Amino acid sequence: MCYHKRIIYSCGHDGWGTEIRACDHQRAFDDGSWPIACPDMFAHPLHSVKLQRMCKDCNWKAARTADKLIQVKMAMRELNETVRKLKMAGASEVEEGLEDVGGRVEG
């Protein structure tokens, strides 16, 4: 069981840093007297670092989501403008139709 530095991101993900202390098994592997490296990685709380940023994957996902949100807001703005224009055009057509039949338009 080798001790490594541990990095904890604000998104909750974590990563492993450099090796702090190798166990006997790992040292034997490094010397060439043992065929298999140590599979266990542990982190001591004093060697754990909390970062106030997201990991690379979450940062990429957040940026992609923000870009899509901007696109959706622009599309909604365009649709609202189109609906407003259609309502204005529809209202003027209704007013013209009422005037043709002798109706009175209020408003």
> Percent of the chain, pLDDT > 70?
85
Q: How far, in Å, CA of 9 to CA of 16, rounded?
A: 11
pLDDT band at 107 (very low <50, low <70, confident <90, very high): very low
Neighbouring CB atoms inside 10 A of 51's CB total 13
Name, in order, each residue with C-beta under 8 angstroms of 59's C-beta and a sequence gap of 6 or more. Answer: 53
pTM of the shown model:
0.59
